Structure 1
Amino acid sequence: MRLNLSILLTAFATVSTLLAAEVVINPGDDWGAAISNNPAGTVFIIKAGIHPDPEISDAKNGMQFIGEDGAIAQGDTSGMYFATGYGPNGKIEDVVIKNIEIRGYGLDRDGNVGYCDGGPLSVHDSKNWLLEELEVHHCGGTGITTGEGTIVRNCWVHHNFQQGFGGKFSGATVEGCENGYNNVVIDGVDSNYCAWEHSAGGSKWAICSTLVVKNCWTHHNYGPGWWTDISNEDITYTGCLVEENVSMGIFHEISGNATINCNISRNNGIGPNSGSNFQLHVVSSGPTELWGNIMDVHASGGAGYQVTENGREYLAQDVDFHHNIIVYRHTTGPAVGMGCQIGGGCDAVYNDNAQNIDFHDNTYYVPDASAELWQWDVGDCVDFTTFKTYHSFGRGSEVIETGDFPDIEDLDCPTGCEDVLAPEIILRNRRMHFEIGQGGSASPQVVSVGNMTMGTLADVETDISYVNGSGWLNVARSGSGNTQKLTNTIDVSGVSAGDYSAKVRVSASNADYVPWYWVHMKVTGESPALTSFDIVPSNAVCSPEQSIKFIATALDQWDNPLADQPSDISWSVTGDGSVSNGTYTAGTEIGAHTLTVSSGGVSTEQPVRVLKADPLDMSENIKDFLVLCAPGGSPKLNVSNYAGSSTHVMDDEHLLTPAPGDKVTVGGTDYTWTIMHDDDGQWHDDAGGGEWIAYFAITVLSTKDQWVRYNVRHAGGMRIYSNGLKVYGYNSWDNRRAVASDPALLERGANQVIFKLASNTYPRFSAHIDDAQSGGLLTDLYYTLDDAAGGDLTISGPMLSRAMRPLGISVRRSAGRYVLDVAGVEGSHEVRVLSLNGRTVFVRRGMGEAAYMIPRSKMASSVYVVSVRAGEKVLRKRFIGY
C-alpha cells in the first residue's frame, strides 16, 4: 500500500501550526510589517482574496505562510520577487509557503514583457524551505529557483516568461509538480522570447548537488524539459513524464554523476528551433547511468538518445545506457548513439572507447530493422548489425520491426521501475470560467483525468472547497481507469450577482499527489436575452445540388444557449440554392454563399461554400498550388532589403483567401493569383536566387476535425499559415531534414493554407500533410483551387449544437494589459480577437486551459469580439476595451 505523502505533510503541518503563534494576514495588509513584528516560527494565515504586491523578505527562521483556498499574491511593476531566502544573518531556514497562487511578478515598466532573469520565488540562498501546493504563473524570469535543501511538492508552474525551475546549491527535491508552457507566450508574442539556447524553457539548474526531480510532468515548454548545465553533481531524474517540449526532453550537460531512470520522454524536439532533438541527451557529463526509461519518438522527427563529448571540463565518461525501451516511429537516426565534437581528440573515444561508453540490453521498436538508426562516430548512422561490431554494443538488446507501434500503456513497466512509475494523476484543463445571468444556465465544462506514468488509477475522488458561496458546483465523474472525465455544472438558483470561485482537489487511492483545478463563476444581474445564433456546422462545404442540415441555437448576451429556444426561426440563403427548416440544398453556382438565421429582429450569418474538389494524395508532395505571379508569370516578388522592408509584403497576408484571377499590388506592381502545377512537387527546384518573396495557397478540405502537421523541406526561409494562424516559421534552410510544423487544426470543411517563402539563396521547397499524433499518411483530404474543377465532394461527420459544447472564456484587465483566460478545453485550441469590422487583432494557439496577455497599446478603446475554437467547440463573446 502506498502512503499519500500530501496527506501526511498536511497532517504534520497542522500539528506544527497548533504549536506556533498564528497571525492572520488579510488582503491589503502589510506583509513586511507582519514579518518584522512577529518572532521566528510564526504561522501566518493568508486569507482568501487578492493581496497586492506582497513580498516575503527578511523572514525569520521557521515562519510559515499558509494560504486559504483562494489566496492570491498579485505582483505588479514595482518588484520582481515574491520571496527571497537571504536575510541579515545569512540563509533563512525552515520557511514554509503553501497553497498560494503567485502571479504577475517581474514585469517591465510598461507592465508587458517579463524579464529573462530573477523570478518570483528566488530562494536559492535559503536553507530547507518547503514550497507546497503553489501555483506560479505569468511571472518574469524563473518561476521557482531552488536552494539548499528546498522541497518543492505538488506545485503547478506554468506560463512564466523565462522558465519554470532553476537553482543552485545542494539537496533540493522537486516532486509531483506540473511544469508547462514556460517561455512560450510572452506579451502575445508566441515563442522563445528569452532564448532557450542560453537559459529558458522548462528548467535549468547550475552548480547543484544531490538534486532530485521525481514524478513530475513537464510539457510544452519552449526549450528543454529538464536541464542541468555546468558543475552539477549527484543528479537524479526519475518517474517523470516529459513531452512536447520544443527541444530535448531531459538534458544533462557539462556536469558530474547523474542517474536518469524510469522516465517517459516522448514527442520532444520536433519544432523548427529544437537545436538538439533528443528525448534524452548527455553532453560532456559522467559518470551517468540511464536505465528503465521509455522514449517514444514522433514519426515527424526527433531522435532518441545520444551521449556527446565536446571537450569541456567534464568528460562524457562512464556513461551506461541500458534496459531502456525506444519506440522509434521514423527511419532517420539516431535512435541512440555517440557524438564527438573535438576533432582528432575523438579517436580515443571511438577507436578505444577509452571513456567507457556503453549501450546494452535495450529494446527498440522500429519501422525497418535494417534501417541505419544507430550512431558511433560523428559520421552517418549505421544499421544495428554494424553497431554491434563496435565494442560489443547492443548485446542483450532486441530490435522489433513493426508498423503497429505500441502506446505507453501497451508496454510492460521496465523492471525495477514498478514503484517509481506507479500511477499519478494529471489534469487537463485546470482553470475554467462560467459567466451567467441570474436564473440562467451554462453548458457544462469538462476536466480530463489521466495517468502520468504506468498502471491504472484507482478510486478517483473529488473534494470541492468553496472560496465564495456554497453548493453552486456539481462535479460528476465518468469513465474509468486512466481515461476519466469530471463534468462540472453550475446551479445559480438563488445565487446573488458577483464573482465566485471553487478549488477542486482530485485524488486516487494509489496516487501520492493530489492536484487541483479551479472553477470561476461570474453571475450578473441581467436576464438572458436573445443576441445571436450559433450555427453548425460552422465551416460547411458541399458539391452542387448536395444538401446539408444546419442546426441553429439561440444564444444570450453571454453566449450561452437560451433555456427557451425561439419557435419562429426563419432561414434564408444567397445564390441559387435553397434552405428550408435548416436543410440547405446547393444550386449549381460555384463559390461562397451566405446563410442567414433570424428571429425577433436578431440575425446571424454563416458562410457556406459550394465547390468541387479532388482527393489530395498524401503519399506524394502537393503538386498543385494557387501562386501569386508577376505580369511575366514569375512567382517571385522581387524586392530589395526584404528582411527589413515591411512595405513589400501583403497586408494581413496570413488571412488571405485567394481565388484564381485575384490581383494584389505589392511594391507598386500588380500580381495575379494563378493556378500552377509541378509534376514532382519540388517547387522551384530549377529557380535561381535573389532577394524575393513568394506565396503559394491551397484550399484543403477535411471530412472531419483533425489535427495535422505540415511536413516540409525548404532551402530558404519559410512561413506556413493554416486558417490564418502561423504554424511554422524559420528564417533559414532546413538542415537537410524534413521538418514538421506545430500541430494545426484542419476543420471539417474548407481550410485555407498559405506557404510563404522568403530567401536570398535557394527557393526550393516541397510539402505534404501528416497526422499530428501518429505521423501517418492521411487518406481523407481533398483540395480545390476554386476553379470549379474536380469531382463531387462529400463532407460528412457529426455535428454538435451549442448546448453540447463545454467551453469558457473571460477577459480581464491587469497591470496595463488585457488577460484573456481560456477554460473548458481538453486539448488544443485557437483563440482570436476581432474588431467589429472583422479585422483580426490577435490570434494564438494553445493547449488545455491557458491565459493570454494583450497590451492595451495594441487595442484602441472599442468593442471587440473574442472567440475560442477547440475542435467542434466554439465560443464567442463581446467585450469593451478601454
Structure 2
Amino acid sequence: MSSSTNRNRTWAVALLTLLVVALAAPAASAQEYYSRRGTSASTEDTTDNTYAEGLAPVAPPARTGEEVVLELGDDFAAVVAAHPAGTHFRIAAGVHRGQSVTPRDGDTFTGDAGAVLDGTVPLRAGDFSRSGGVWVAAGQTAEAFVHNGRFHGSTEDGFERHAANNDLWNGDTRLNHVNSRGEVDSPDEWFFDYERDEVVVGVDPASASLSLSVPWHAFRSEATGVTVQHVTVTRYGSPAQHGAIHAQGHGWTVRHTTVTENHGGGVLIGPFGTLSHSRITANGQIGVTAWYGEGIVVDSNEIAHNRTLQYRLGWEAGGTKFKETTGMVFSNNWVHHNDGTGIWFDIDNRDSVIRSNLAEDNLIGVNIEISYGAEISDNTIRDNGAEGYGDIGAGIWVSNSSNVEIHHNEIADNRLDILATHYERGAGAHGRYETHGLDVHHNHIRITGEKPTGLRVYTGEDHFYTERGNTFRDNTYDLSEAGTTFWWQGDRSWDQWQALGFDVNGSFAAAGNGSTGVRTPYAPVGYGHAA
C-alpha cells in the first residue's frame, strides 16, 4: 500500500486525466445529432440545453481512510473477499479481462481513467485445429445460462442460438452464433458445441483476433448500498433479462459508467437504486431493466443502439423494460436508435413518472403496457415507428393501462403519435388490465404518420369510448397532409373529433404554421471511460 502522500498525488493525476478525457472527447453521435438538428455543438450554441447540466461530468467522491487498489492481473473476487464490507476499491487503469465481483454491503468500486472490465478471454490460434472447412477449439468449458431446459430468451425464428449467452468476437466484431456445427460456412459465423466443449469457427484463427465472453456479470449481488462508478463494462456474457451490472440489492448507485456490447442486458437496477450519467449502448437484448422494485431512479443517461441480437421484439428487446415497479422515475435520458421499444413499462407497474426525456428513432418511443398509473410529461418524442407492425410503432402507446396522464410533450413525425388500445389482457395485481382514465392534454403534436392518433377498442366494449374517462383536451396539432387524423370508433376528421368533445379548446393547423420547439437534449460530454 502506498503512502498517503503518494496516494493523493496519484489520485490527483488520475482525476485530472479523467476530466481532460471527459471534456475533450465528446461522444461521436453527439456531433451527428447536432448536425441533424441544424444546430452547433460549439460552446457558442445558445439553444436551451435543459438536459445538459445533469449530464456534466463530476469528480469522483472525496476519499477518506485507506483504499484498496485492484491492479491488472489481480483476482478481483479474491481481493474483494479478503476485505471487509464497506471497503472502497479503486480499479486501476487498463483492460481487466474475465473479472466477476460479488459486492458486499456498502462496497464502492471506482475506476481510474481508462479502467475497463472486459468479459472476454482470448482464444489463441494454437487452441484450434483444422477440421475440413472449419477450425475447432477443444476444452472450452464455459457454461451458458439455461432456464427450464433451454437457453433463456425468445428469439426470432432461425436465430435460436442467439439466446446462448456466450459471444465470440473477432476484434471488434461479434460473430453470428448459428444453430448447428454444419451451418458454420463463412468467416463471420461460429458455433459453441456445449456437449463436446468445442468452439467451431469459420475464420482462420491465425488471421483473426478471437475472444470469448465467459463470465455472466461484472458485478452481481443482493448487497445493499453498493456504488459502481467511472468504469467501462463490456462484452460480458450476461443472459437475457440480466445485467452485466446486476444490482439486485437495495440502494445501489451506478453512475458515470459505460456499459456496452454485453450479450443480454446492460444494467439491472434494483429497489431504491439509481442509474445516472451513464452510457448504455449496443447490448444484445436490452439496455436497462428493473424488476419488482420501488423508488428506482434512472436519470441523465444515454440509452442507445440496444438489441444487436435477434431477441424477439414482442418478448423483451430494445432500450429498456421495467416490470412491477412502484413510483419509478425515468427522467432526462436520451433514448435513441434502439432496435425495439425505447421506454417500456410492462406488467403491474404503478405510479410511474416519465419526464423530460428525448426518445427518438426507436421502433416504439414510449410504451405503457398492462400497468396502473403513469405520468408522461415534458418529453420530446419523435421519429419513432416500425413499419409493418400494426398498432405497434407509436411515439406513445398506452396498452391496457389505467390512469395514464400524457401532457406537455413535444411529439413529432412518429408512425403513430399517441395511440391507446384496449384488448382482453386479463387481470393483474391491482385489477383488470384495461384502458381507462387516459388524460391527454397540452401536448404539441406534429402528425406525419400513416395512421391516426386516438383510441382503438378490440373487445367490443364500446363504453371505453364514452364512459371510462378517456379524453384528449387542449392539444395543439400540426398536420402534414389533408386526410384522416384521429381514430375514435372509426376514422375522424378534426371537426368530427371536436364534435365528440375532444380538444374543444385545442388547435389544428397545417404543418409549417407551428414548430415543435424541440430542445437540444444532449451535452457532448463523456461517460465512463473508453477502452
Same fold (TM over 0.5): yes
- Pick from 400, 405, 410 the counterpart of residue 284 of structure 1: 400
- Is 2:260 the counterpart of 1:137? yes
Question: Is the CA contact (8 Å cut-off) linking 2:279 and 2:528 kept in structure 1?
Answer: no
- What's 1:373 paired with? 485
Distance 1:393 1:131 in 2: 43
Distance 2:529 2:388 in 1: 34
Question: Is the CA contact (8 Å cut-off) linking 1:84 and 1:121 kept in structure 2?
Answer: yes
- What's 1:85 paired with? 221
| Superposed displacement of residue 297, structure 1 | 1.3
Summarize deviations over 1:382-424 as a string: whole Å, max 9, x none. 101111222x11221100113x37554xx2x8xxxxxxx7x64
Question: Is the CA contact (8 Å cut-off) linking 1:151 and 1:174 kept in structure 2?
Answer: yes
- Is 2:304 the counterpart of 1:180? yes
Residues 405 and 197 (structure 1 numbering): CA distance in 2 closer, same or farther, change over 3 Å? farther
Paired amino acid for 1:47: A
Residues 519 and 226 (structure 1 numbering): CA distance in 2 closer, same or farther, change over 3 Å? closer
Summarize deviations over 1:616-655 as a string: whole Å, max 9, x none. xxxxxxxxxxxxxxxxxxxxxxxxxxxxxxxxxxxxxxxx
Instruction: Give matches, 1:39-188, under 5 Å.
Output: 39-57=84-102, 59-76=103-120, 77-86=213-222, 92-106=223-237, 115-123=239-247, 125-168=248-291, 169-184=293-308, 186=309
Paired amino acid for 1:49: G
Secondary structure at the counterpart of residue 280 of structure 2:
strand
Secondary structure at the counterpart of residue 308 of structure 1:
strand
Question: Is the CA contact (8 Å cut-off) linking 1:118 and 1:140 kept in structure 2?
Answer: no
- What's 1:226 paired with? 343
Distance 1:222 1:273 in 2: 13
The structure whose Rg is larger is 1
Length-normalised TM-score, structure 1: 0.42
How many residues matched? 383
- What's 1:29 paired with? 74
Distance 2:88 2:405 in 1: 42
- What's 2:352 paired with? 235
| Superposed displacement of residue 177, structure 1 | 0.5
| Superposed displacement of residue 85, structure 1 | 2.7
- Pick from 314, 319, 322 the counterpart of residue 202 of structure 1: 319
Summarize deviations over 1:735-778 as a string: whole Å, max 9, x none. xxxxxxxxxxxxxxxxxxxxxxxxxxxxxxxxxxxxxxxxxxxx
Instruction: Give matches, 1:524-673, under 5 Å.
Output: none
Instruction: Give matches, 1:377-776, under 5 Å.
Output: 377=489, 379=490, 381-390=491-500, 392-402=501-511, 404=512, 408=516, 411=517, 424-427=521-524, 506=525, 515-516=526-527
Instruction: Give matches, 1:794-813, under 5 Å.
Output: none
Residues 406 and 396 (structure 1 numbering): CA distance in 2 closer, same or farther, change over 3 Å? closer
Distance 1:127 1:267 in 2: 36
Question: Is the CA contact (8 Å cut-off) linking 1:329 and 1:405 kept in structure 2?
Answer: no
Distance 2:294 2:390 in 1: 30
Distance 1:156 1:254 in 2: 28
Distance 2:334 2:407 in 1: 19
- What's 1:250 paired with? 366
- Pick from 301, 304, 323 the counterpart of residue 417 of structure 2: 304
Length-normalised TM-score, structure 2: 0.68
Question: Is the CA contact (8 Å cut-off) linking 1:327 and 1:405 kept in structure 2?
Answer: no
Distance 2:290 2:530 in 1: 32
- Is 2:332 the counterpart of 1:215? yes
| Superposed displacement of residue 241, structure 1 | 0.6
Summarize deviations over 1:336-389 as a string: whole Å, max 9, x none. 20011212xx22112xx2210010000000034x52111112x3x210111122
- What's 2:380 paired with? 264
| Superposed displacement of residue 253, structure 1 | 0.4
Secondary structure at the counterpart of residue 198 of structure 1:
helix
- What's 1:349 paired with? 464
Distance 1:103 1:274 in 2: 35
| Superposed displacement of residue 262, structure 1 | 0.6
Paired amino acid for 1:197: G
Question: Is the CA contact (8 Å cut-off) linking 2:257 and 2:528 kept in structure 1?
Answer: no
Residues 230 and 371 (structure 1 numbering): CA distance in 2 closer, same or farther, change over 3 Å? same
Paired amino acid for 1:388: Q
Residues 426 and 163 (structure 1 numbering): CA distance in 2 closer, same or farther, change over 3 Å? farther
Paired amino acid for 2:421: T
Distance 2:390 2:72 in 1: 43
- Pick from 461, 472, 477 the counterpart of residue 364 of structure 1: 477
Question: Is the CA contact (8 Å cut-off) linking 1:239 and 1:262 kept in structure 2?
Answer: yes
Secondary structure at the counterpart of residue 221 of structure 1:
coil
| Superposed displacement of residue 55, structure 1 | 1.4
Paired amino acid for 1:81: H
Distance 2:263 2:411 in 1: 32
Distance 1:84 1:204 in 2: 19
- What's 2:456 paired with? 339
| Superposed displacement of residue 34, structure 1 | 1.6
Residues 82 and 303 (structure 1 numbering): CA distance in 2 closer, same or farther, change over 3 Å? same
Secondary structure at the counterpart of residue 72 of structure 1:
strand
Summarize deviations over 1:415-472 as a string: whole Å, max 9, x none. xxxxxx7x64344xxxxxxxxxxxxxxxxxxxxxxxxxxxxxxxxxxxxxxxxxxxxx
- What's 1:328 paired with? 447
| Superposed displacement of residue 142, structure 1 | 1.0
Distance 2:486 2:458 in 1: 18
Residues 361 and 5 (structure 1 numbering): CA distance in 2 closer, same or farther, change over 3 Å? closer
Residues 316 and 276 (structure 1 numbering): CA distance in 2 closer, same or farther, change over 3 Å? same
Secondary structure at the counterpart of residue 367 of structure 2:
strand
| Superposed displacement of residue 203, structure 1 | 1.1
Summarize deviations over 1:151-173 as a string: whole Å, max 9, x none. 11111011100011111211111
Distance 1:199 1:152 in 2: 20
- What's 1:838 paired with? none
Residues 178 and 5 (structure 1 numbering): CA distance in 2 closer, same or farther, change over 3 Å? closer
- What's 2:410 paired with? 294
Question: Is the CA contact (8 Å cut-off) linking 1:119 and 1:140 kept in structure 2?
Answer: no
Distance 1:373 1:236 in 2: 28
Higher relative contact order (CA 8 A, sep 6+): 2
Residues 329 and 310 (structure 1 numbering): CA distance in 2 closer, same or farther, change over 3 Å? same
Unaligned runs of 5+ in 1: 87-91, 108-114, 187-192, 414-420, 428-505, 507-514, 521-882
Question: Is the CA contact (8 Å cut-off) linking 1:210 and 1:235 kept in structure 2?
Answer: yes
Unaligned runs of 5+ in 2: 1-48, 121-212, 428-432
Distance 1:100 1:397 in 2: 48
Whose helix proportion is higher, 1 or 2? Answer: 2
Distance 2:513 2:382 in 1: 13
Question: Is the CA contact (8 Å cut-off) linking 2:358 and 2:521 kept in structure 1?
Answer: no
- The sequence identity of aligned pairs, in percent, is 25
Question: Is the CA contact (8 Å cut-off) linking 2:286 and 2:306 kept in structure 1?
Answer: yes
* C-alpha RMSD over aligned residues: 2.4
Paired amino acid for 2:278: C
Paired amino acid for 1:385: D
Secondary structure at the counterpart of residue 231 of structure 1:
coil
